[in-house]
Amino acid sequence: MKLPKENVELFYKLYHPLLVYVNKKFNIVRGINSPEDFKKFPIEEINKLRDRLYKHPELINSFVV
């Protein structure tokens, strides 16, 4: 799937805040409390959040509400 440019920008604007939200719900990675914290962690840790989001897509709706 290829997004239009304006949607790509929106995706990247919202992706890390969404993963922070997932982390707050499930306490998966200690130390990730803001989008800026992602710079401190290896991709393997961040992928744990992504994987949990994929298992619980309903979190997207609760995030945007």
Would you list the domain boundaries of the chain? 5-64
Nearest-Å Rg of the Cα atoms of the chain is 12
Q: What is the pLDDT of residues 25-54, one digit of tens each?
A: 999 999 999 999 999 999 999 999 999 999
Residue in the structure block whose two tokens are 């914290």: 37
Above pLDDT 90, what percent of the chain?
91
Give the integer Cα–Cα distance in Å for 57 and 46. Answer: 17
| Identity at 61, one-letter amino acid code | N
CB 49 within 8 A of CB 28: yes
DSSP state for residue 38 in the 8-state scheme: G
* Tokens read off for 45: 């840790």
Is the pTM higher than 0.85? The answer reads yes
